[in-house]
Chain A
Amino acid sequence: MSIEANEDTTEDTIEVQPLPLDAWHREQGAQMVEFAGYHMPIQYEGIIAEHLWTREHAGLFDVSHMGQLLLSGPDLDAAVEAILPIDLSTLKLGSQRYSLLLDKNGGVLDDLMVSRWPNDLYLVVNGATKWDDIAYLREHLPDEITLNHLEDRALLALQGPEAYAALARHAKGEYDLGSLKFMKFGRFTLAGHDVTIARAGYTGEDGFEISLSADAAEEISNLLCGEPEVKPIGLGARDSLRLEAGLPLYGHDLSPETSPIAADLVFGINKRRRAEGGFHGASRVQSELADGTQTKRVGLALDGRRAAREGDAIMAGDTQVGMVTSGGFAPSLGHPIAMGYVALQHAETGTELEIDVRGKRLSAKVVQMPFVPNRYFR
């Protein structure tokens, strides 16, 4: 039997670092894998069980590998808007927004969250790209802007329909956790520790992302997993949940070769900025908004049980019309799904296509994403 690795491996031979919860994961019986330069839990009891538990109850994900950055300094908004296609004039204190880090050619270097703090902007970037992102931002931001990489902080995501019930028992703040809506955040305490809680996530479910001191990560993880609704969930289920939610994953569905327009991420380029430009990659973004793109990111539902995988060719008859960028079995649906880019004339919902999976042709149909309806708290 051959096991085809389906995990990212860091290209640079950096020494693998333990994350704050490394020992804790092992105590919980996690299978650890190397990802983004860290040892991370891929699963505890099994991906399908963890996936279904999260959809039904609540799952605690350790996402401390992601980069938490704090930007501050004079004329901060203008400096950030000169790079990112975000409209910061409409980003209010206590709100966060999805944005894209584009290179000057309009290719996607990363996708990220930007939050308005009282005097700073707080960014959460992908773990595998954070060092490149930091270098890129430092290179292109003016010297007066300070970029602080919050390496002493951990990041936990509590996701699922019962996440609120479990977290509300412990979150103390100036206002009630229940008043926090999707894509808003606030400062709270958990077991006496100061934390920042955002109502957001990567599963399509209601949920929270909790930024906290690395020193408190173990205590808070034990506290939350002590609640009957909560179990620790690994990276494997994180991937299957985000795929069902139709969310792209950087390094798979997005890359420097990807156009954000083809990726269907126009919402990450705010309206005023589309018109005015003035961010990295603006000229390509504006011309693609005007003229359209050759390809589009679509969802695909497959018949049968066999899954298509990243790199598999999408076919119309004998012609390759696209490529799968993410694919796998969807535990909540009971059949395989995939995400990929196809030529525009084949991107219409309902289009019947085939995917070449290791020499076998599987029937696939273009479907609307998300595959599983999202349940954000709005």
Chain B
Amino acid sequence: MPRYFTEDHEWIDVEGEMGTVGITDYAQSQLGDITFVELPEKGDQLKKGDAPCVVDSVKAASDVYSPVTGEVIEVNGDLDEQPELVNSDAEDGGWFFKIRLANPDELSGLMDADKYSSFVDGL
């Protein structure tokens, strides 16, 4: 399934009208040890650019933005007990929430893996 990236270091895997959202491995490495993740609730209506999640690391709190507009279908309950999953497995087991895309056209503004990789190299 295709994976897209934002300039704010979120990723979204898209399958049909469903997306799975998390933060990139680069993002977790910048944050350091993650101690708490605040997640949205199932049923929340998000707009692209909303900040439904907060990631607390030992040093700071950071907002995570929704890359797309849509409804939250599921959240990753494992992060309640194991927020460190975001450090160890940011781009797979450390996913944040699943969303039903209201407007798939929004994806065209996002980067693919190669573009994101170049983007990070330029930081």
Note whether A and B form a binding pair: yes
**A residues neighboring B (CB under 8 Å):** 1-7, 42-43, 46-49, 236, 239-240, 304-307, 309, 328-329, 331, 336, 357-358
Q: How far is the CB of A234 from chain B (nearest CB, A)?
A: 10
Closest to B29 in A: A31
Query: Known contacts A1-B27, A3-B31, A358-B54; is A306 also within 8 Å of B38 by CB?
Result: yes
Asked whether, in the complex, the Cβ of B38 is within 8 Å of the Cβ of A46, the reply is no
B contact set with A: CB distance below 8 Å: 8-10, 23, 27, 30-33, 35-36, 38, 51, 54-56, 58-65, 83
Find the B residue at minimum CB distance from A328. B58
Pair B62/A2 contact, Cβ less than 8 Å: yes
Tally A-B pairs: CB < 8 A.
71
CA distance A225 to B68 in the complex (A): 48
Select from chain B the residue with minimum beta-carbon distance to A335: B35
A1 touches B62 (CB 8 A): yes
Bound Cα distance A43, B57 (Å): 13
In the complex, what residues of A have CB within 8 A of residue B56's CB? 305-307, 329
Which residues of chain A have C-beta atoms less than 8 A from B36's C-beta? 304-307, 329
With contacts A306-B56, A358-B54 taken as known, whether A3 is within 8 angstroms of B32 at the C-beta atoms is no
Q: Which of B27, B36, B65 has the most CB of A within 10 A?
A: B36
Q: Which residues of B contact A6 (CB under 8 A)?
A: 59-60
Assess the B83–A1 pair: CB atoms within 8 A: no
Contact in complex: B60, A309 (CB < 8 Å) = yes
Known: A236-B58, A309-B61. A329 touches B27 (CB 8 A): no
Chain B residues, Cβ within 8 Å of A2: 8, 51, 62-63, 65
A sample of 11 more A-B contacts (CB under 8 A), given A236-B32, A306-B36, A307-B56, is: A2-B51, A4-B62, A7-B59, A46-B32, A47-B58, A236-B59, A239-B59, A305-B56, A305-B83, A328-B58, A357-B61
Measured in the bound complex, the distance between the Cα atoms of B30 and A329 in whole Å is 17
User: Does A48 lie within 8 Å of B33, measured CB to CB?
Assistant: yes
Contact indicator B58/A4 (Cβ below 8 Å)? no
Provide the bound-state CA to CA distance between A125 and B54, in Å. 36
Q: Which of A2, A6, A240: most chain B Cβ within 10 A?
A: A2
Given the complex of chains A and B, what is the CA–CA distance between A336 and B56 in angstroms?
Answer: 11
Residues of chain B within 8 A (CB-CB) of A4 are 60-62
Would B60 and A1 count as touching, CB distance under 8 A? no
The 9 closest A-B pairs by CB, nearest first: A6-B60, A305-B36, A329-B35, A47-B58, A48-B33, A2-B63, A1-B9, A4-B60, A6-B59
Q: How far, in angstroms, from A5 to B59 measured CA to CA in the complex?
A: 9
Nearest residue in B to A239 (C-beta to C-beta)? B59
- Cα distance, A306 to B60, chains bound together (Å): 11
Cβ contacts A to B, 28 pairs, < 8 Å: A1-B8, A1-B10, A1-B27, A1-B62, A1-B63, A2-B62, A2-B63, A3-B62, A4-B61, A5-B60, A7-B59, A42-B59, A43-B32, A46-B32, A47-B58, A48-B33, A305-B35, A305-B56, A306-B36, A306-B54, A307-B35, A307-B56, A309-B61, A329-B35, A329-B36, A329-B56, A329-B58, A331-B58
Closest to A306 in B: B36
CA distance A331 to B55 in the complex (A): 17
Question: Which residues of chain B come closer than 8 Å to A357, judged between CB atoms?
Answer: 61
Given the interface contacts A305-B83, A306-B36, A307-B35, does A3 sit within 8 Å of B30 by beta carbon? yes
